[in-house]
Structure formats: C-alpha cells, structure tokens
Structure 1
Amino acid sequence: MDAANVHNYKRHITSFEILPCDERFLGDQLWVVQIKGSAFLWHQIRCMVAVLFFIGQGLESPNVIDVLLDIERTPRKPQYKMAPEIPLVLQSCEFEGLKFSCSSEARQALQAHLEKECRSYKLQAAIFHEALQCLCIKTDGSWPNRITKKKESSHIPLMLRATEPSYEERCTKLTTGSGRRKGNYGAPHA
C-alpha cells in the first residue's frame, strides 16, 4: 500500500471469469482467470488469486472473500504469500482519448518471439516430465501408481494471521516520520 502517493484504494471490477484453458498437462485441466476492471492496485490480482487458491485447496471458506472486502470488519490485510507473477499476462490497457497501435513489423516480431518462447517452455516441460518418469520406475521395471499423498501443511486461517498496517496507520507513520506507533497492528484480530 503506497499511502504516500495513493489516496483512493477503491477499484471497480467489471468482469471476473474462471474458464478452462485449451492446454492440458498430464490429464490436469489448466484454467485461466480473466479479470477486467477500470484500474488495479499494485499486486491486487496476485493477492486475489492467492486467496482463490486457498479456497480451492479447501484451506479457506468462500465467505472469506466477503470478510476481507468488509473494511469495517477487516481494516488490515492479513499477511500471506501472493500468487506467483509468472503466469500473469496483462492483455491490454485502454485509456479514454488514447488509442495504441502496433505496426505489422512489430506485431510479427512479437509473434516470432512468443512462438520461440512457447517452444522453449514446452521443451523444458517435456524434459522435466521425462525426468519425473525416470524417478517413478521401480527396480522390477514396473511403474508405481501416481503419488497422491501430499505433505500436510499447517495452514493458518487468513483471519487469524498477523496483519499489515491500515491506511490510517501508514498515513500517521508518514506524517510523524516515526516507526510503528503503539497499538496492536501486526497482530491477529477477530
């Protein structure tokens, strides 16, 4: 949260869809999240996706979204690791009165670059897949069943985690120039 430069943290999401992707990997369906809005906060999408992953894994209830969006009930963001940035793609930006254009040469160069990158990542995926297959061979030459048991994680519910300073607390820190003021932010709250 950039309290020194940003004073309006409200954003309007116009569309939010979770759709199946054309790609599959080892029988697993890949999905795409398409989010459209008038503007986004720094790391907003990564935070939104991280919470969706918690819900999808059964670690959080879907109602945690309503609780997190209620700033009276939850004035401070719980601390958690954001979703990785690598699969995120900003498809387009639109501004009133401004139209972006791309020359055919630039479009062709971008397409060639993306096709090269796609081939490279597919090759890397195939290599890793082959390496995994090598690890799965039993000494008698047979293949074991796919490993399904995951290490149990000790998930701390979002609403019981330490929190970041609120907007007001950040503003106070900026105006006083001091470190953390007395209080209990950073501690779990109900």
Structure 2
Amino acid sequence: MKILAIAGSSRKNSNTDNFLDLFLENFNLKNEDITYLTLKDLDYSYCISCYGCAKVPRCILKDDLTDIYPIIEESDMIIFSTPIYFNSVSSISKSFIDRMQVYWSRKFLLKLPPIKEKFGICLINGGAKYTEEQFLGSELVFDHFLKVTSCKNHLTLKVSNTDENPINSENEDFIRFLNSINLDFNARKSYVLKEKNYGNK
C-alpha cells in the first residue's frame, strides 16, 4: 500500500508530528511504502488563482509540489496531520491544500476522470480546551481536500487541549484514544478526544 503522510506544523517535534508518528506506529503502517512530507521543509507557492489548471490538467507553477502531484495521484492512502491556527488548519497546510485546485479543475472544468480513489485520514490537534466548534474550520477545509483527492471514505481524529496534555507516547489518555479507533477503510468515521475523555461521533 502506498501512503502519503503529510505533517503540517511549522515546528519540529510538535504535537502534529507526534500525532502522525504515533498513528502510523499504532496501526502498523510504518512498514508500508510511505512518502513523508514535512511541509515546513518544502518550498512552494500558495495558489495564485491563475486558472492555468483550467487549460491543462496540471498546476503550471514550478516548485517543490511539482514532483508531489504524481505521488498524490498514485497513493492508496493520504494521512494529513495539522494543528489548528485561528480555527482552521495551519497556514502551510492551507497553502498546500489550495494547490489541490488542480484536481477540482480537472473534474469540473476539463471534465476529466477523477484521480485514483484512495482512503483519507485527517489528524487535527488543538491546543485549547474542547469546544463544540473547535474543529469546524479545519473540518470544512479537509472536506474539500478529501473530495478533490478522491478520498471517498475517510477517518478524522481530533484531539483538544494539547497545550496542557501534549501528544506523546507517555500520554496514556491519548494512547487509549488511539486504541479505541476502528480503522475501517469502507466507512467515514470521526473521533474526538475531549480533555481526558475519548469517544466518537
């Protein structure tokens, strides 16, 4: 199985990085064919809305994402980990997601078949204590990302209060939360860890 694992934090050894690493470890995915993307280490532009991808089925910008598009298209699974900044995904994550406009144009403007169907996993962490709308902004962004990258089924994991309870292997509540997850490739599921309680919705 080809996996694209994306870390969307601007910091090293962050909750976002740990979330991704522990998820891969917990579900025995580290032995798969994995491509890791650490977005802060890449040099790429935000989408400039030039609509070049409305004329040809590719992004006409030339940067580090040029070689990433084929990996996205060939992947069987995409795992995207991001922190919450101002009620949405991080800025580097949003710039990356905006560049997926090429797949929206492919389907709706060029009328070409969608790219290969895959399974999507969104790992979202917020430093603040849980509120009902804490993850709404990031979920809306990911909803479009999952659709254009052909992730028909997907899993969303949300963890709050990471300022007080950092994500790491010693966080027993987080590990119990991971162990409660049913990784079902034929379904759409969402789980949230609120403070020290865990469950799904």
Q: State TM-score, norm by structure 2.
A: 0.23
- Could you say which structure has the larger radius of gyration? 1
**Structure in which a larger fraction of residues adopt strand:** 2
